[in-house]
């Protein structure tokens, strides 16, 4: 590449030489992007934990209802 020509790059990308021409590869995320990604992942993790807790609670309720029905403590008429 000629030192007189400055390549145009998109934000967050850098030019890396290849055998012929140049290839645009994304550069490392900025600090703000990393913070945004971490926030999204934390929110998803919290939601997943809440869903898992709800699933466990529903499973325990089902087990209790089945036990009550099978022992005859509760009858369906």
Length of the chain: 77
Domain span including residue 47: 13-70
Question: Model's pTM, two decimal places?
Answer: 0.56
Task: Please state, in angstroms and rounded to a whole number, the distance separating the CA atoms of residues 68 and 13.
Answer: 63
pLDDT tens across the length of the chain (77 residues): 555 555 555 555 555 555 566 667 777 889 999 999 999 999 999 999 999 999 999 999 999 999 999 998 888 77
pLDDT of 77 reads 77
Closest Cα partner for 16 from 29, 31, 27, 28?
27
Residue 28, in any domain of the structure: yes
Residue 39, in any domain of the structure: yes
Residue 2, in any domain of the structure: no
Residue 45, in any domain of the structure: yes
pLDDT of 11 reads 59
- Supply angle C-alpha 6, 24, 36, rounded to 5: 110
CB 15 within 8 A of CB 22: yes
């Amino acid at each position: 590449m000629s030192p007189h020509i400055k390549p145009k790059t998109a934000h967050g990308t850098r030019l890396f030489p290849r055998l012929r021409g140049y290839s645009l590869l994304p550069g490392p995320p900025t600090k703000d992007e990393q913070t945004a990604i971490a926030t999204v992942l934390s929110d998803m993790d919290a939601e997943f934990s809440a869903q898992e807790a709800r699933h466990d609670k529903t499973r325990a309720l089902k087990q209790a209802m089945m036990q009550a029905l099978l022992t005859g403590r509760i009858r369906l008429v």
